[in-house]
Amino acid sequence: MSLEEWVEYGWLRREPTSPGEIKDLLGIVDRSLADSKVEAVSTDLRFIAAFNAALCIATTALRASGLRTIGRPMNIARLLLLLGGHVCAYSRFSRAGRNCIVAPAAA
């Protein structure tokens, strides 16, 4: 399925972006990756930080393409875009906690 089809189905919308927005998103990715390496916190929190980085880099790819997801359920669409649909292991691993992961403020 192409991104154009996602726009046609109403899952994505076109929205202009700016270099500043992309820079801010990449900053969030860097910070989340750094947080994921902090050994003083639990493995669960490190995983959440790494997942947030993956979510944010997928958001960055969409925003750099001039697209934005529509609605909160579409957060998973960014992950699917990034991982090519191979999210079954994560879904089983953190089914109960998946709503704890917050999309970055710049998204």
pLDDT of residue 79: 55
Contact (Cβ atoms closer than 8 angstroms) between residue 76 and residue 51: no
Long-range contacts of 52-55 (CB under 8 A, 24+ apart): 52/28, 52/101, 52/102, 52/104, 53/28, 53/29, 54/79, 54/82, 54/83, 55/79, 55/82, 55/101, 55/103, 55/104
pLDDT of residue 23: 96
* Main-chain dihedrals φ then ψ at residue 12, nearest 5 degrees: -130, 155
Cβ-proximal residues to 103 (8 Å cutoff; 6+ apart), any chain? 55, 56, 59, 72, 75
Domain ranges of the chain: 3-90
Low-confidence ranges of the chain (pLDDT < 70): 72-107
pLDDT tens for each residue of 50-81: 988 988 888 898 899 999 888 765 555 565 66
pLDDT of residue 24: 96
pLDDT of residue 104: 45
pLDDT of residue 101: 44
Long-range contacts of 92-98 (CB under 8 A, 24+ apart): 94/47, 97/44, 97/48
Question: Strand locations in the chain, DSSP E?
Answer: 12-14, 67-69
pLDDT of residue 70: 81
